[in-house]
Structure 1
Amino acid sequence: MRRQSAGRPAWPYERELAEDVKVKVVVHGHAREYFPDPREEFEYEFTPGERVADMLAAKGIKKELIMRVVAGGASVPLSHELCKGETIILLTPMAGG
């Protein structure tokens, strides 16, 4: 059992031990304008075990707006587990005619 320091609650101490990690997210395509945050690039901080689908839900991005996800130069499914420091590219459907 972990000892609690005098004057220091256990929960924030436990939180400090958990390693928060980030991925860089790049969004390509016209559907970006329908995202809650229309920036082309942003960083997403996550906890180990989160997947691309979890990130989309957390950011309020409808998965129907994503045509393809690329990580490490390869197409990956929405179930791809996020890895510290990787770049996630979200491709939205093409527009035009």
Structure 2
Amino acid sequence: MSIGLLASMHCKKDAEGAFDTELKKLVETSKKETGCLACELYQYKDEPTKYVIEEEWIDEEALSRHMETAHYKYFVHISPALLVNPADVKILTRLI
């Protein structure tokens, strides 16, 4: 079965433009990785500073490789300056 990642993020009000740009770059680059089955970005309709990324990877090894990429590490490095709180990241196992 595949493995999922669900990340919720709340960016600072004055960082919306930069955060939106960097997050979209991360998602677009991640979609091109070997083992990425899906990588979707959502924004709360009623709270535009809140985002959710939903990812699906072929297996845990593919997700681990993703977390070692330069684009992922770059985003993790810059995101604390743009976020209200650290991202809430959950790793999920597909059941069906």
TM surpasses 0.5? no
Higher strand share: 2
Which structure has the higher relative contact order (CA within 8 Å, separation 6+)? 2
> Over alpha carbons, which structure has the higher Rg?
1
TM-score range, shorter chain: 0.3 to 0.5
Q: Structure 1 length as normaliser, TM-score? A: 0.37
